[in-house]
Structure 1
Amino acid sequence: MKFTEFTLKEFIQKALADINFVRATEVQEKLIPIVLSGRDLVGESKTGSGKTHTFLIPIFQKLNESSDQVQAVITAPSRELATQIYQAARQIAEHSEVEIRLANYVGGTDKARQIDKLQSKQPHIVIGTPGRIYDLVKSGDLAIHKAGIFVIDEADMTLDMGFLETVDRIASSLPKNLQFMVFSATIPQKLQPFLKKYLTNPIIEQIKTQTVISDTIENWLISTKGRDKNAQILEMTKLMQPYLAMIFVNTKTRADELHSYLTANGLRVAKIHGDIPPRERKRIMNQVKNLDFEYIVATDLAARGIDIEGVSHVINDAIPQDLSFFVHRVGRTGRNGLGGTAITLYQPSDDADIRELEKLNIKFLPKEMKNGEFKDTYDRDRRVNREKSHEKLDLEMIGLVKKKKKKIKPGYKKKIKWAVDEKRRMTKRVENRAKGRAERKAKRQDF
C-alpha cells in the first residue's frame, strides 16, 4: 500500500516523499488506520519494521497546531532512541507551514534551560526518556494533563531497564480520556498488569512473520573451539570488508578488552557500553553517522534503542545470556530490504542455546575461515548424530549386562567397559555445559 492512499495532511505527504517513503511497511499498513481511529493499541512486531512512523504519522495527522497545549507524549527507554524518534518527528514538522513545537527531554541535557523554555511555551509533542519527562512533570514545569495521546516505544526494553515504574507515574499524570499506544518487539508477561491498568479494550496486533528476523539476513555460525577469539575476530575483519559492522559482547569488561585489541591492530573502532558518559556517547554517535568508524563494539543494553544506518554486518562475540537479545542484535542489519550478514561465534557448550534459537525458525549456516576466505563447513549436528549413536550403545550396554552369560565371548568385557567409559564421558560433557551456562548467568551483573 502506498502512503498516498492514506488520507493525510499535505505536509505529511511531502515529508514522506522527501525521505523516499513510498510504500508502507506491513506494520504501517495494518496499524496506521487503527491509530487514526483513536483506539488503544498494542503493536508487536519484529525490530526494524517501521514502528516509529506508525505512531508519528497519526500523531501529526491529529495535531491541532493552533493549540498551546501538549497533545502527545512519547517515551523511549534510551537517550539515543528518544533522539532518533525526535529527529524523525522534526523531519515531518519541518514541512509544516505552521510552527509545530517539539521537545526532546533526555538525561544528560541542560534541565535548567529546558525549564526556562517551558515558562514561555509548552511543546505540542513531547519525546524523551521516562526519567527526565517525569522530573519536568513532577516539578510542574511540563503540563501534560491535557495530552490526548501517550506512546510507549520499546516497551520490553523499558521493562528490562527498570523504567516501567516511572512510565506508570507519567501515565497517572495524564487525563483518563486518552489514546494509549504500546509498541514493542515482544510483549513480556510482566508487562501485562501495566497494560490492563491503563489500556481500554485495546486492539492487540501481532505482526507475525515466518522468521523473527528479516529473511534478507544470512546467519553464520563459526566455532571458536581451540581458537583465540580476539585473533579470530581480527581475521574476520580482514575478510568481511563491511560498510559498517557492529560487534556485540556480553559484558563491559569484554567490550573494553576487544576494543583495545582491535584498535591496537589498526582498526577504526567505536565502543558503546553503560559506563560511557552521555556526552561521550553523543560524540561517538555523531562520529558513527559521519562514518569515522568501521566497527562498533557494544553491549546489549547500551546498544538497544540506537538506530544506526548502513550496518552491513553483525558479529556476536558470544551468544547473549538473554536469548531475546539475539533478535535485537541481528536485526541491526538487513533493514529496508537490504542484505546483511550476522556472524555468531560459538563453542560446544552453546549447543542448547542455538537449538532454542533454531526453534524460532532462525536458520544457521556453518562456516569456517580457511585460506583467506569464508567457507561452508560441516554442520554441528554431526555431534548430535554421534550422541544418538552413543545412546544406542548405552542401551546395548544395559542389554549386555542383563544378558551376561557364564561363558563370555572374547572382547565382551572390553566392550562393556568401553560403553561405560563413553557414558561417563558424555555425562561429564553435559555437566560441563550446564556449568558453563551457570557461569554465564552469574556474570550478568557485569553488564
Structure 2
Amino acid sequence: MNFNDLGLDEQMLSAVERTGFETATPIQEKTIPLVLSGIDVIGQAQTGTGKTAAFGLPLLQKIDYSKKQIQALVISPTRELAIQTQEEIYKLGKEKRAKVQVVYGGANISRQIKQLKNYPPHILVGTPGRLLDHIKRHTADLSAVKMLVLDEADEMLDMGFLDDIENIIKNVPKERQTLLFSATMPKSILNIGKKFMHDPEIVKIKAKQLTTDLVDQYFVKVRDNEKFDVMTRILDVQSPDLTIVFGRTKRRVDELSRGLEIRGYNAAGIHGDLSQQQRSEVLKKFKNGSLDILVATDVAARGLDISGVSHVYNYDIPQDPESYVHRIGRTGRAGKHGISVTFVTPHEMDYLRVIENLTKKRMIPMRPPTEKEAFAGQMSAAVEEIGTLIEQTDSEKYLKTADQLLEEYSALDIACALLNSVSKEDASSTPVKITPERPLPRRKKRQSFSKKKKYGNSKRSQGRRYRHEYDKQRENKRKPKYKIRKKSRG
C-alpha cells in the first residue's frame, strides 16, 4: 500500500519521500491508520520491519507544536535502541521541526537535565532506569503526555523492567493513547494490554513475513569444543566484509572477541556490562568500517541497524526462535544478499527444527572447511591486501632499499616473507580457550495423541497405562511356547 492512502498529512508524506520509503510495510499499513484515529494498539513486529516509522509518523502528526511540552513518551529496553529510535523519529520530524530527546543510563545526567529544562522536547525517548531517575528528580514533566509507546515490550519484561514500567506509567496521565510493540505475544504482554490500555486493537504480522528470502541460511553440526576452530576456518574461506557474531552470554562474548583478536582478526565485543562510552566507540568503529567483526549478545544488538553487514554467525543457537529471526535480520537489508551460519551441537538439533518451523525455511547443512581450504582463503585475502598496499605505496621512495634487498634475497623469498607477515597463518594455530556453556535443555518429545486420549496425561493415568502394559507382558509370558497335538483316532 502507498503512504498516500494511510491518512498522513503533506509534511509527513514529504518526510517519507525524503527518507526513501516507497511502499508501506505490513506493520505500517495496519498500524498508522489506527494510531491516527486514536485507538490503542498492540503490534507484533520484529526489528527491521519498519515499526519505528509505524508509530513515529502518526506520533509526529498528532503533536501540538505550539506547546513546548513533552507530549509523547517512548520507552526502549536498551541504550542502543533508544538512541536509534530518537535518531529515526528526529529525521522523520524535520519538516515539523520536532524536538526529540533521548535519555539513557551511562550518560551525563546533568547534561540531560539541562536539555530537558532549557529545550523541552515534544517527544522523549528513554530507557526505564534513566526515565525513573528523571521522574524522581522532577526533571522530566510527563503531565502533558498524551501518547505512550512501549517498544520491544517482551525484551523489557525479559530484562526485569516490569516494575519500572509500572512506576513510569503511574506518572503519565490516564487519558492517553498507548501503543505496545513486541516481537512475541506471550500472556504477560497481553496482561500489560489489559492493565494499562483501553480496548487495544491487536495487529499481528504473519510468520512468513518474519524472515527475508535475501538471507541464505546455513547450519554447521559440530561439537562445542570444536566450534571456535571451525568458525575461524569459515571466516577465512568466506572473507566477509562486515560480520556480527552472536554469543549467548557476556562471558562468551568476551572470550570470543579476545580469541578472535589473538587469531589475528579485527574484532571487538559489546554487552550490557560495558559503559555507554565503550559501546558507542565499538559501534562507531564497526559502522565506519574500521572494525570487521562485532561480537554481541542479543540484548546489546537489539535494534542495531547497520548497513553493509554481509554475514551473521550464531556461535550459540538461541533458545527461542524469535531471537534467531532478530539476529539474521541484521543482514540482508536494503535489497542486498546476506549469509547466516548457525553452529549447532548434536543435542541441539531439536531447537534448529523449531526455528525452521517458525521461519518456514529449511537451513542448508554446511560442511566445515578443512585446514587446507582455510589456508587457501588466508592466502587469497593476503594477496588482495598486498595488492592494495602496492597501489598505496610510493615506490620511488623505497627504490634504493628495495634494490639492496633484491641483491641479498630472491624476489620469491621476499614475496613469501610478505605473505607470511600479512596473512593470519601463524596466528591460526594459536590455541584459544572458550569456556563451555551449560547445554540447552533437551526439548521434551510430545506424547502421541492416541495414548493421551486413551489413558490421559496425569500421573495416575500414566501409571494405569504402564500397569496395563506390564500385565500384558506377564500374560504373554504365561502362554505356552509349544502346541498340544490331538491324538489321532487310528
1:382-414 deviation digits (Å, cap 9, x = unpaired):
xxxxxxxxxxxxxxxx9xx979969xxxxxxxx
| Residue equivalent to 2:285 | 287
CA contact (8 A) 1:46 1:213 kept: no
Kept in 1, the 8 Å contact 2:45–2:182? The answer is yes
SS at match of 1:335: coil
Gaps of 5+ in 2: 375-472, 483-490
Pair 1:65–1:295, CA change in 2 (3 A): same
Q: Is the 8 A contact 1:250 1:321 kept in 2?
A: no
Q: Per-residue deviation at 1:143?
A: 0.9
Q: Per the alignment, do residues 103 and 370 of structure 1 end up closer, same or farther by CA in structure 2, a change over 3 Å counting?
A: closer
Distance 1:197 1:293 in 2: 45
Q: How do residues 401-412 of structure 1 correspond to structure 2 at under 5 angstroms?
A: none
Q: Is the 8 A contact 2:224 2:345 kept in 1?
A: no
Counterpart amino acid of residue 82 in structure 1: A
The residue aligned with 1:133 is: 131
Displacement of 1:33 = 0.8
Question: Equivalents in 1 of 2:242, 2:30: separation in Å?
Answer: 32
Give structure 1 stretches of 5+ with no counterpart.
Answer: 374-397, 407-447
TM-superposition CA deviations, 1:72-94 (whole Å, max 9, x none): 00010000000000110121233
* Distance in 2 between residues matched to 1:332 and 1:28, nearest whole Å: 20
- 1:258 CA displacement: 1.7
In the other structure, the counterpart of 1:369 is 368
Q: Post-superposition shift, 1:141?
A: 1.6
Give the CA deviation at 1:163. Answer: 1.2
Instruction: Check whether the contact 1:73–1:125 (CA below 8 A) recurs between aligned residues.
Output: yes
Which residue of the other structure, out of 297, 308, 311, is the alignment partner of 1:310? 308
Alpha-carbon distance in 1 for matches of 2:71, 2:354? 43
SS of the counterpart of 1:279?
helix
Which residue does 1:262 correspond to in 2? 260
Return the match for 1:215 from 190, 195, 213: 213
**Structure 1 residue matching 2:367: 3-state secondary structure:** strand
Read off the aligned partner of 2:368 and give its amino acid letter: M
Match of 1:140, as an amino acid?
H
Aligned to 1:177: 175
Equivalent residues, number: 381
Instruction: Please say which structure displays the higher CA radius of gyration.
Output: 2
Distance in structure 2 (CA, Å) of the matches to 1:6 and 1:354: 39
Q: Is the 8 A contact 1:270 1:295 kept in 2?
A: yes
The equivalent position to 2:273 in structure 1, one of 264, 272, 275, is 275
**Higher deviation after alignment, 36-45 or 220-229:** 220-229
* Shift of residue 302, structure 1, vs aligned partner: 2.1
Q: Which SS does the other structure have where 1:300 is aligned? A: coil
The match for 1:423 is none
What is the identity, as a one-letter code, of the residue corresponding to 1:132?
A: R
More displaced 10-residue stretch of structure 1: 123-132 or 334-343 = 334-343
- The superposition leaves residues 387-442 of structure 1 with CA deviations (integer Å, 9 ceiling, x where unpaired) of xxxxxxxxxxx9xx979969xxxxxxxxxxxxxxxxxxxxxxxxxxxxxxxxxxxx
**SS of the counterpart of 1:341?**
strand
CA contact (8 A) 2:309 2:330 kept: yes
Aligned residue in 2 for 1:393:
none
State the shift of 1:213 in Å: 2.1
- For residue 147 of structure 2, the aligned residue among 138, 149, 156 is 149
The one-letter code of the counterpart of 2:357 is: K
3-state SS, counterpart of residue 219 of structure 1: strand
Corresponding residue number in structure 2 for 1:44: 44
Match of 1:224 in 2: 222
Find the counterpart in structure 2 of residue 26 from structure 1.
Answer: 26
User: Against the structure 1 CA distance between its residues 334 and 405, is the aligned structure 2 distance closer, same or farther, given a 3 Å change threshold?
Assistant: farther
Q: Distance in 2 between matches of 1:330 and 1:89?
A: 24
1:255 Cα offset (Å): 1.6
- CA shift, 1:337, in A, is 4.3
The 1-side partners of 2:28 and 2:157 are apart by: 24
Q: Structure 1 258/203 Cα, relative in aligned 2: closer, same or farther at 3 Å? A: same
Q: Which residue of 2 aligns with 1:422?
A: none
When normalised by structure 2's length, the TM-score is 0.73
1:248 and 2:249 matched:
no
